[in-house]
Amino acid sequence: MSKKIAITGPESTGKSTLAKQLAEHYGCLLVEEYAREYIDKLKNPYTQEDILIIAKTQKEIEQQKIKETDKLLISDTELIVTKIWSEVKYKECHPWILENIEKQDYDLYLLCDIDLPWQDDPQREHPHLRKQLFDLYKQELENRNLDYKIISGKKEERFENAKRFIEAYL
Protein backbone atom coordinates (compact mmCIF):
# COMPACT_ATOMS: atom_id res chain seq x y z
CA MET A 1 0.00 0.00 0.00
CA SER A 2 1.37 3.37 -0.97
CA LYS A 3 1.97 6.30 1.35
CA LYS A 4 0.98 9.79 0.22
CA ILE A 5 2.74 12.97 1.27
CA ALA A 6 1.36 16.39 0.37
CA ILE A 7 3.49 19.50 0.10
CA THR A 8 1.37 22.52 1.01
CA GLY A 9 1.63 26.15 2.01
CA PRO A 10 1.55 29.68 0.65
CA GLU A 11 3.00 30.72 -2.68
CA SER A 12 6.75 31.21 -3.00
CA THR A 13 7.67 28.87 -0.16
CA GLY A 14 9.61 26.33 -2.22
CA LYS A 15 6.90 23.68 -2.52
CA SER A 16 7.69 22.62 -6.09
CA THR A 17 11.43 22.56 -5.52
CA LEU A 18 11.02 20.51 -2.35
CA ALA A 19 8.54 18.11 -3.96
CA LYS A 20 10.92 17.44 -6.86
CA GLN A 21 13.90 16.95 -4.52
CA LEU A 22 11.96 14.49 -2.36
CA ALA A 23 10.60 12.49 -5.30
CA GLU A 24 14.09 12.22 -6.76
CA HIS A 25 15.64 11.29 -3.41
CA TYR A 26 13.06 8.59 -2.67
CA GLY A 27 12.81 7.42 -6.27
CA CYS A 28 9.05 7.80 -6.14
CA LEU A 29 6.30 9.29 -8.25
CA LEU A 30 5.61 13.01 -8.14
CA VAL A 31 2.25 14.66 -8.74
CA GLU A 32 3.23 18.06 -10.07
CA GLU A 33 1.18 21.20 -9.52
CA TYR A 34 -1.33 21.51 -12.36
CA ALA A 35 -2.31 25.14 -11.63
CA ARG A 36 0.88 26.61 -13.07
CA GLU A 37 0.51 24.71 -16.37
CA TYR A 38 -3.19 25.61 -16.63
CA ILE A 39 -2.74 29.33 -15.89
CA ASP A 40 0.19 29.58 -18.30
CA LYS A 41 -2.20 28.61 -21.12
CA LEU A 42 -4.93 31.12 -20.25
CA LYS A 43 -5.40 34.14 -22.50
CA ASN A 44 -7.41 36.03 -19.84
CA PRO A 45 -7.12 36.33 -16.07
CA TYR A 46 -8.22 33.20 -14.23
CA THR A 47 -11.68 32.94 -12.68
CA GLN A 48 -13.21 31.06 -9.79
CA GLU A 49 -14.39 28.45 -12.30
CA ASP A 50 -10.76 28.00 -13.37
CA ILE A 51 -9.80 27.20 -9.78
CA LEU A 52 -12.44 24.45 -9.75
CA ILE A 53 -11.11 23.03 -13.04
CA ILE A 54 -7.59 23.10 -11.61
CA ALA A 55 -8.72 21.33 -8.43
CA LYS A 56 -10.58 18.60 -10.32
CA THR A 57 -7.73 18.02 -12.76
CA GLN A 58 -5.16 17.95 -9.95
CA LYS A 59 -7.23 15.28 -8.22
CA GLU A 60 -7.58 13.24 -11.44
CA ILE A 61 -3.82 13.35 -12.06
CA GLU A 62 -3.16 12.22 -8.51
CA GLN A 63 -5.68 9.37 -8.75
CA GLN A 64 -3.96 8.14 -11.92
CA LYS A 65 -0.48 8.33 -10.36
CA ILE A 66 -1.54 6.48 -7.21
CA LYS A 67 -2.56 3.54 -9.42
CA GLU A 68 0.99 3.44 -10.78
CA THR A 69 2.75 2.86 -7.46
CA ASP A 70 2.58 0.84 -4.29
CA LYS A 71 5.29 2.92 -2.62
CA LEU A 72 5.59 6.59 -1.78
CA LEU A 73 3.79 9.35 -3.70
CA ILE A 74 4.75 13.01 -3.31
CA SER A 75 2.09 15.58 -4.23
CA ASP A 76 3.19 19.14 -5.00
CA THR A 77 -0.13 20.59 -3.85
CA GLU A 78 -3.52 19.43 -2.62
CA LEU A 79 -7.07 20.72 -2.29
CA ILE A 80 -6.50 22.85 0.80
CA VAL A 81 -4.36 25.03 -1.50
CA THR A 82 -7.30 25.56 -3.88
CA LYS A 83 -9.66 26.17 -0.96
CA ILE A 84 -7.52 28.92 0.55
CA TRP A 85 -6.73 30.38 -2.88
CA SER A 86 -10.43 30.58 -3.72
CA GLU A 87 -11.45 31.99 -0.34
CA VAL A 88 -8.74 34.66 -0.38
CA LYS A 89 -9.45 35.69 -3.98
CA TYR A 90 -13.25 35.25 -4.12
CA LYS A 91 -14.33 35.03 -0.46
CA GLU A 92 -15.88 31.60 -1.08
CA CYS A 93 -14.98 28.11 -2.17
CA HIS A 94 -16.83 25.75 -4.49
CA PRO A 95 -18.64 22.91 -2.65
CA TRP A 96 -16.85 20.27 -4.77
CA ILE A 97 -13.50 21.38 -3.35
CA LEU A 98 -14.84 21.38 0.21
CA GLU A 99 -16.39 17.93 -0.19
CA ASN A 100 -13.25 16.47 -1.70
CA ILE A 101 -10.94 17.88 0.96
CA GLU A 102 -12.84 15.61 3.34
CA LYS A 103 -11.92 12.63 1.12
CA GLN A 104 -8.20 13.43 0.88
CA ASP A 105 -6.15 10.65 2.36
CA TYR A 106 -2.61 11.96 2.69
CA ASP A 107 -0.55 10.29 5.34
CA LEU A 108 1.53 13.39 6.04
CA TYR A 109 1.40 17.07 5.10
CA LEU A 110 4.58 19.11 4.85
CA LEU A 111 3.68 22.77 5.41
CA CYS A 112 6.35 24.99 3.87
CA ASP A 113 7.33 27.92 6.06
CA ILE A 114 7.58 31.50 4.81
CA ASP A 115 11.25 31.79 5.78
CA LEU A 116 12.43 31.78 2.14
CA PRO A 117 12.71 35.12 0.33
CA TRP A 118 9.79 36.02 -1.92
CA GLN A 119 10.45 35.11 -5.56
CA ASP A 120 8.53 37.34 -7.94
CA ASP A 121 6.56 35.47 -10.58
CA PRO A 122 3.64 36.61 -12.78
CA GLN A 123 1.42 33.91 -11.23
CA ARG A 124 2.09 34.97 -7.63
CA GLU A 125 -0.20 37.54 -6.09
CA HIS A 126 0.29 38.07 -2.37
CA PRO A 127 3.80 38.96 -1.20
CA HIS A 128 2.27 41.14 1.51
CA LEU A 129 0.01 38.36 2.89
CA ARG A 130 2.59 35.63 3.49
CA LYS A 131 2.17 35.44 7.28
CA GLN A 132 -1.64 35.56 7.10
CA LEU A 133 -1.67 32.86 4.41
CA PHE A 134 0.73 30.65 6.35
CA ASP A 135 -1.53 30.99 9.39
CA LEU A 136 -4.57 30.01 7.29
CA TYR A 137 -2.82 26.83 6.12
CA LYS A 138 -1.70 25.95 9.63
CA GLN A 139 -5.17 26.60 11.04
CA GLU A 140 -6.80 24.52 8.30
CA LEU A 141 -4.50 21.56 8.97
CA GLU A 142 -5.05 21.81 12.71
CA ASN A 143 -8.84 22.23 12.42
CA ARG A 144 -8.96 19.07 10.32
CA ASN A 145 -6.68 17.26 12.78
CA LEU A 146 -4.28 16.33 9.97
CA ASP A 147 -0.77 15.05 10.56
CA TYR A 148 1.58 17.84 9.46
CA LYS A 149 5.07 19.15 9.98
CA ILE A 150 6.36 22.65 9.29
CA ILE A 151 9.32 22.64 6.93
CA SER A 152 11.75 25.50 7.51
CA GLY A 153 15.29 26.28 6.49
CA LYS A 154 17.19 27.43 3.45
CA LYS A 155 18.06 25.18 0.50
CA GLU A 156 19.71 21.96 1.71
CA GLU A 157 18.58 22.49 5.31
CA ARG A 158 14.94 22.61 4.17
CA PHE A 159 15.36 19.38 2.21
CA GLU A 160 17.10 17.67 5.14
CA ASN A 161 14.33 18.77 7.53
CA ALA A 162 11.68 17.36 5.20
CA LYS A 163 13.56 14.06 4.84
CA ARG A 164 13.92 13.79 8.62
CA PHE A 165 10.14 14.16 9.10
CA ILE A 166 9.33 11.70 6.32
CA GLU A 167 11.76 9.09 7.63
CA ALA A 168 10.41 9.47 11.17
CA TYR A 169 6.92 8.97 9.74
CA LEU A 170 7.79 5.98 7.54
- For the stretch 78-95, pLDDT in tens is 999 999 999 999 999 999
What is the C-alpha separation between 10 and 136, in angstroms, rounded?
9
Task: Give the chain's mean pLDDT.
Answer: 94
Percent of the chain at pLDDT exceeding 70: 99
DSSP 114: S
Q: Is the pTM of this model over 0.75?
A: yes
pLDDT for 13 equals 94
pLDDT of residue 145 exceeding 80, the answer is yes
CB distance 145 to 106 below 8 Å: no
Q: Does the pLDDT of residue 138 top 70, yes or no?
A: yes
